[in-house]
Structure 1
């Protein structure tokens, strides 16, 4: 197994990026940094060079999916067998990649076609560990990883930290670049699921992660607070994805209910409420019309 780590950057926190690459470098055979037009691109270039990484720079923000596809193309060209996708703020613990690789071999032997395997994230803002999600009829099952030792199947896994055999892309295809950001990983996992592949979470590979800038509580649920434009992309992509034939019915209901929760929560409990309302409303219109791509495009 030869693993190329593909890290996507956009205006990263440089000290955190140095920390992330320092933890990553001993665990993989190569690092590719795909920068999406960062305002601190020169610093990103310096950090990438110090880590021995290959830098793929863009003068503009092409979106997370386009950046990941660039990195995957680089992995193919370099003769790597697997890609490890990473966000700029993901710091791996020692042995994380080895644990993912062991888990991948295990589930490939027992389940056959495997799309990807990812770590068990501990989300710092909400102080919660990620769970496995499985559609069961109209119900969405949420399965705890606590006490588990073997990888658990999940309808989707977060892209950051996911280990993916490059051969899977031959069947499933690349990430959808017109989604730009948000739910890109979910859409790809659903497409892989429809093609007969399963995704897994490895409980023994734990990683700390931070979603957004904080959370707000709605009853027993917690919703991450992102910058306002992310409200547009999430709602738009969720409504589009809810209408795709490979999206399970339980997930369609989830996306519809979550959009309603976003509308109620972000316009009453978050900052910049008027702006968020306008962006969510536009996201609803564009999602129903299947108008994808960059908001600024």
Structure 2
């Protein structure tokens, strides 16, 4: 029977603060071990030195989400890996729901389990059942170690954004299922929420930075071409429409978006944005 001792959590840090420290404390007793991989320029070990279940790995540079996740995974031995953002809130509900499912339904065709995401824009509550899905987010997803053994790790050329979506497309190609457990709910904090009034409607939407719009456009287009993925092309179109219809200072965001498309066409990946910013 699988237990919490079979699960390691990998959390990628970036300039962590006291709020992140408090969040990290919530992992105690819910997983066997917690590996923190820090993409900050400085060593923040002092924040976590008194937490006995934490392994801290400083990078002294920002190498991106994929590189950091891969390093954490490679420094673990547990059968299952839970990947998390530093501000996502773990809970007993999340872990227990995954274990309950796995102890009844685990098989070689499953590559990962994912959850419902409870946000201020899209509230979610626990429900019965489970369903196979094509896509999800890496934060809050429980991966089998055997999945990485079979299809490789996250693609660090993408640096940030769409890293999880590309991995799930690769899982599908290898006939590994992504299963959403409806009882598992993660409190998640995506991009800043804004509200736009259109006639009698109030639309809540997320607005990320100019840089993140660049990476999202670049990586969505590159992955869409590589996998001939209608889902990725739809995501790209929605991102463009959000800028056109909802964003202020559209010219700035469209410049980043268009540069992302251009770089994807020329296979300019990695941490590339700073090379042209302002040009």
Distance 1:189 1:216 in 2: 31
**Alignment partner, residue 269 of structure 1:** 247
Q: Any residues of structure 2 matched to 1:122-137 within 5 Å, and which?
A: 122-124=118-120, 126-129=121-124
The count of aligned residue pairs is 266
**Alignment partner, residue 140 of structure 1:** none
Q: Is the 8 A contact 2:93 2:185 kept in 1?
A: no
Q: Indicate the larger mover: 28-37 or 100-109.
A: 100-109
**Alignment partner, residue 198 of structure 1:** 177
Distance 2:132 2:236 in 1: 24
State the shift of 1:81 in Å.
Answer: 1.2
Q: Which residue, out of 3, 7, 25, partners 2:7?
A: 3
State the shift of 1:92 in Å.
Answer: 1.4
**Alignment partner, residue 30 of structure 1:** 33
Q: Does 1:121 align with 2:79?
A: no
**Alignment partner, residue 234 of structure 1:** 216
State the shift of 1:262 in Å.
Answer: 4.1
State the shift of 1:216 in Å.
Answer: 4.8
**Alignment partner, residue 49 of structure 1:** 49
Q: Which residue, out of 89, 93, 97, partners 2:95?
A: 97
- CA gap of 1:182–1:26, structure 2 versus 1, over 3 A, is same
Q: Any residues of structure 2 matched to 1:156-167 within 5 Å, and which?
A: 156-167=135-146
State the shift of 1:182 in Å.
Answer: 0.5
Distance 1:209 1:261 in 2: 24
Q: Is the 8 A contact 1:83 1:164 kept in 2?
A: yes
Q: Is the 8 A contact 2:158 2:269 kept in 1?
A: yes
State the shift of 1:31 in Å.
Answer: 0.7
Stretches of structure 1 lacking an aligned partner (at least 5 in a row): 130-145
Distance 2:204 2:252 in 1: 21
Q: Any residues of structure 2 matched to 1:74-93 within 5 Å, and which?
A: 74-75=75-76, 79-93=77-91
Q: Which residue, out of 266, 271, 275, partners 1:289?
A: 266
State the shift of 1:252 in Å.
Answer: 4.2
- CA gap of 1:216–1:257, structure 2 versus 1, over 3 A, is farther
Q: Any residues of structure 2 matched to 1:148-227 within 5 Å, and which?
A: 148-216=127-195, 222-227=204-209
State the shift of 1:180 in Å.
Answer: 0.5
- CA gap of 1:227–1:259, structure 2 versus 1, over 3 A, is closer
